[in-house]
Each structure stands twice: as C-alpha cells, then as structure tokens.
A and B are shown apart, each in its own frame.
Chain A
Amino acid sequence: MNAPAYNFAYLDEQTKRMIRRAILKAIAIPGYQVPFASREMPMPYGWGTGGVQVTAAILGPADVLKVIDQGSDDTTNAISIRKFFAKTAGVATTTATEDATVIQTRHRIPEATLHADQVLVYQVPIPEPLRFLEPRETETRRMHALAEYGLMHVKLYEDIARFGHIATAYAYPVKVNARYVMDPSPTPKFDNPKMDNCPALQLFGAGREKRIYAIPPYTKVVSLDFEDHPFEPYRFNAPCALCGAENSYLDEIVTDDKGGRMFVCSDTDYCESRQAAGHHGSLSAAPYKEKAQGGTNG
C-alpha cells in the first residue's frame, strides 16, 4: 500500500512528450545535438540518466529490453537499469542481443549485427566532440552551424605528429551524413564501423549535458581520418581466452600479481553464445571444470 505509484516507465507524460519531440528532431537532423529539458532521475549523473530518459520515452509494454555496460550484461550499472525498467514499466528483459527490441548501452555496440526492429540507446557523458578543443558552448554551436571542423582535424594531426599515428582510441569523432561531426559516446573506435549504414535506429542521450542526438538507420557514418593515415579500428592482437573469437573487442583482465593476464570478449552475450555453440578458447576449460565440481547447473 505504501509503494509509491509511478507512471509507466517512471517519467511523467509531459516529460515524455518533450523528450519524444526532441527525438523526432534529432532523427530529422542526423548528428545534431538537440537540447532537451533533462530531468533528475533516481540515479546519479554519470550512471546513464540521459540514456534512461530516452529509453523511458520510447519504451512500451511489448518491448524487450537489454542493457549493457562496457559490453557486459552483468555489471552494476546494467543490472540496476534493467531492474529499474522491469520494475517501473514491467517490460521483459533479456541478455540476448538478437531478442532485444531496445538495447541501452554504455560504451559498446554489441558484436552481433543489429537488425531493423531494434533501437540502440547510448548513454553519453559528453556529447560535444569539440568540447575539449573549445570550451565555450556559444563557439562550438557556431562551429557546428558553419560546419567548421578544421580544429578537429588539427587535433588528429597533432596525434600523428606526436605519436606517429592517430592515438585517439575511444570517442573517436565521426561525421554523420556528410554534415555533422558527432561524438559516438566513449565507445572504443573498434565499434565505429558498426555505426555506418546500421539497420537499427541509434539514439544518444546525455542527461547532465541535456542533449539528445540520433543516427537514423542506413545512414553514412564516417570516422574522421587522413588519406595517408586512414582510420583503423583497434583490438588486442589475441583470440578471446574463453570463446576463441578472433574478431570481437577484448577486455584485458589481470589474473595475478606476476604479470599474468587474459583477454576476453567485452560483449558477454556474444562470448557466452559462442561458448554454448561449442567454441573454446585457451582458458575455457576452467569454468566448465568448476561447474562440474559444484554439482549444479549454475
């Protein structure tokens, strides 16, 4: 009886209307950051309040929600947000990329190819790609208005001058539909090619910075580069230690204090479904052995 009665998906209807109007304009102007009246959410800024508000505005009872944090379904942030919507909207949740209709993500794009019936919602900390080059909002806004992106190329050039290659490894700037330079949120640049011509709608929400932006399906997304220094996605040169994948993005996990380490897929669903399909890596025997000793199927 004392349970507070929240609206479906937590947000009130007036807020949802405001966010929905912003989403429509964001889709109509790919890569442009639409200001919106971001609300306080029952979680701190930095935990994905922007993504949560976008998800709350689009989510319906028939949706199946997946939430990932750095590719993992099992981290605190992902579990909290999944539970939040299971509780406030009563939606079905899943960890399987294929089955989800709405995927909220922090810092990764799933390895499995997304399909047209899915919406990918990104949590964005700092939406303005030019912010660290020009701190004034009035100036960055004018730079976007004039498509004045020389400064970004200077920044990438300075990387080359200093390190011999473009050393930006995450939040690697992209140009959307040959117009707006956009921050893909701090995804590793390994994920950048997945944004290009993606069949799924991609929505970006920045709660603290109060911006929503979008990439419609089948839209050209180009990572900025130079003719003589073309864009190259980066991954550790190793197979996944659990599933043997040669083409997935890897996390480096330190296993002891003697320099031991293992590389495993950052996308837990991808890794688990590969293991279930019989793929093995160099260290994949260990968890199976433990399972047998435990005597349960957990």
Chain B
Amino acid sequence: MTTIAELPPGFADKVLSAQSTFRSVMDAMARPGSVQRIVPGAGTPDRMMRGTAAIALTLFDHDTPLWLDARMSESPDVVKWLKFHTGAPVVQDSSIASFALISDGGALPPLERFALGTSEYPDRSTTVIFQVDSLDAGRSFELRGPGIDGVAMLNAAIRPFDLFERLRVNEALFPRGTDVVLVADDAVVAIPRTTRIVSKGS
C-alpha cells in the first residue's frame, strides 16, 4: 500500500507551474489542432502521462467532480494521487462530471453519457481528457472552425479511432456539446465543440 510520502509529488512551484500549464491549455483551446507543449513537470502516478498530471493539478479541485475510465480507476495510485493533490471527488456517474480522464480510448462510453450542458447553461458540460498515442504522427485530419485561420492540419494516433466521427454530434447539439483535450506525453491538443473535423486518411 502506498503511503502519502511515497506518492509522486505535485508541482515543485504550484503557482507558476499551474499558470504555465493553463496558458498551454488555453492556447490549445483557442487554436484547435495546434500542438502546445506543457513545460512544468510533476510526479506522474502509474498510467498517467505528465501532460495529464499537469492539467489535473492546474484545473481540478473540490469543485470539479471527476470521472475515471476503468483503466484509470483500477489504479489505486492514480486515485490516491488525484485525491491527495487535487481533492477532486471521483464520481461513478459520468453525467455529473466536470472532467473525465480516458486512458483506454477503446473502452470509451458513448459521449452522451457525459454532461453535454443544457441550452441555458451549455458550459455545464464534461471536458473529456484523452491520453493518446501520438499527436505528431498517424492519421491526418483537417480541422475548421473558430480559432483556426482557414484550415488546420492535425496528425494523430488516437483511440477510439472513430473519435472525431463521434464528435460530429457536436454540430447538431451546439451550443451543447463535448469539449475534448488530447494529451500525448507533454503535448496537448484541444478540440472544442465548435471544431469540425474531416479525416484525410493516413
């Protein structure tokens, strides 16, 4: 059993590391498809990438119910680390989660099981954070929408491989919808609900 002393550490500098991580995520969200780097290092519990760990320390707290996929929640290290460093309550019901952490995209539940927000409060929706294999190689995707000057190209190896097809529901749902953050090691790409994606093959 891991004691608190044995848990991987959080940020060395809580304040400035969180600021720097947030700016990377904000830039990613403001410019969908652009690959941003997360610089500050934190300890990473088993199964969690350093980008995911930094985002968790930056955005999660007791106000943000958190849903973990089976692979994440199976790991007592991950759950303990999140609980100790962020205090975010881990919930079973994905429809009330502010954030969801997905490390095994193959077992992704249907997106409508997450909070999609309401027409009056579309912001009350789950931000789904995926750990993916690569954000610089893999299939090519063409992205359009706010934050993109014309067209942006993204090469990514992600699971589920039909994630972007599933996200097409965002177009009909808008302003409700799912915002997605993709993490591969220290690289982060955001796909807000306004982004329209066309696969260009590999």
Contacts and interface: CB of A to CB of B under 8 A. Distances in A.
A29 B26 contact: no
A61 B13 CA distance: 13
Contact of A20 (B22, B98, B125, B192): B22
A258 interface: no
A146 B119 contact: yes
B20 to A, nearest CB: 6
A47 interface: no
Interface stretch (B43-51, B57-65, B68-76, B133-141): B57-65
B25 to A, nearest CB: 7
Interface stretch (B102-110, B145-153, B157-165): B145-153
B7 interface: no
Nearest to A30: B146
Contacts of A61: 16
A217 interface: yes
A28 B193 contact: yes
Interface in B89-116: 98
Given A14-B61, A27-B26, A217 B149 contact: yes
Given A23-B26, A28-B193, A177-B146, A13 B174 contact: no
A210 to B, nearest CB: 13
Interface residues of B, number: 40
A297 to B, nearest CB: 38
A54 to B, nearest CB: 11
Interface string B21-34: 01101100111000
Contacts of A141: 120
Interface in A93-147: 141-142, 144-146
Given A25-B123, A217-B30, A177 B194 contact: yes
B8 interface: no
Contacts of B98: 21
B192 A13 contact: no
Consensus secondary structure, chain B interface = loop
B146 A218 contact: yes
Contacts, number: 110
Nearest to A36: B123
Interface in A217-246: 217-220
B116 to A, nearest CB: 12
Nearest to A144: B120
B10 to A, nearest CB: 12
Interface string A158-198: 00000000000000000001011000000000000000000
Nearest to A177: B146
Interface residues of A, number: 43
A21 B59 contact: yes
B22 A219 contact: no
B148 to A, nearest CB: 6
A28 B64 contact: no
Interface in A22-77: 22-30, 32, 34-35, 57-61
Contact of B147 (A7, A179, A219): A219
B18 A218 contact: no
Given A8-B16, A29-B193, A177-B194, A216 B23 contact: no
Nearest to A37: B63
A201 interface: yes
Given A60-B19, A145-B119, A24 B29 contact: yes
Contact of A218 (B25, B148, B175, B179): B148
A23 B30 CA distance: 10
A285 interface: no
A16 interface: yes
A18 interface: yes
A201 B15 CA distance: 23
Interface of A: 7-8, 13-14, 16-18, 20-30, 32, 34-35, 57-61, 141-142, 144-146, 177, 179-180, 199, 201, 214-220
20 contacts: A14-B61, A16-B18, A24-B59, A25-B123, A25-B125, A27-B26, A27-B29, A27-B147, A28-B29, A28-B194, A29-B123, A29-B175, A177-B146, A179-B175, A201-B30, A216-B30, A216-B146, A216-B194, A217-B30, A218-B148
Q: When A and B form their complex, which 4 residue pairs have the shortest distance between CB atoms, in order from nearest?
A: A28-B192, A145-B119, A216-B147, A25-B123
Given A59-B19, A180-B175, A216-B147, 5 more contacts: A21-B98, A28-B29, A29-B122, A29-B123, A219-B146
